[in-house]
Amino acid sequence: MTADAFIQCRVSPEIKTLVRTLATREQITESALIKRFLEVLLRSSAVTAVPGLEELQRASRDMRLYVRLNPNDRLLLRERAAARGMPSATYVAVLVRSHLRDLAPLPKEELLALKSSVAELGTIGRNLNQIVHALNQGERVPALGREELRAMLKVCGALRDHVKTLLVANVKSWAQGYGQTTH
């Protein structure tokens, strides 16, 4: 069943805070929580002759998946999720999604680090562009020697290598985890 229709309403700040708190505790979005509330309410209401209600009940039954793990695997799961800065359930959901879709997602912290690196490269690029523009206009540029240019190139190269290493490590970590265990 496709879910492309929207229901919107305004609530008080107190209700919004309660919904946000409960959604966070359940490790789902506020929208998913409201959708769940609606499904439970509609299933338990006296309205039974609604077309598609039976299909909705079957679909909502498949929304949650339960998995049994042995204690050692549970410990590894907790450690790997913590290393990614995620709750265990979110980590498992991302891991399954990445496996099913053959993706290697970037967690929020790693994405922020990459964005920061790109911003640094942008700053260096703008500075170099200003220097070149000034030279092309015949303006006098503060003394910029070979050593300064080499230093900028070294920073750019190191940043490039760091980003490559980060991306390779990200792909490997999703494929095999953080450490090899010998159990």
Q: For 136-164, how does the pLDDT look when each residue is reduced to its tens digit (9 = 90+)?
A: 888 877 766 677 777 888 888 888 888 88
Q: What is the average per-residue pLDDT within 107-114?
A: 75
pLDDT attached to residue 74: 93
Rounded to the nearest integer, the mean pLDDT of the chain is: 78
Cα 158–Cα 166–Cα 174 angle in degrees, nearest 5: 170
- The span from the CA of 142 to the CA of 151, in Å, is 16
Is 80 exceeded by the pLDDT of residue 175? no
Which of 47-51, 123-127, 144-148, 151-155 is least confident? 47-51
Prediction pTM value: 0.39
Residue 46's pLDDT band, with cuts at 50, 70 and 90, is: low
- The span from the CA of 48 to the CA of 50, in Å, is 6
Instruction: Please enumerate in sequence order all residues whose Cβ is within 8 A of that of 33, keeping only pairs 6 or more positions apart, or say none.
Output: 19, 22, 23, 26
Q: What is the average per-residue pLDDT within 1-18?
A: 82
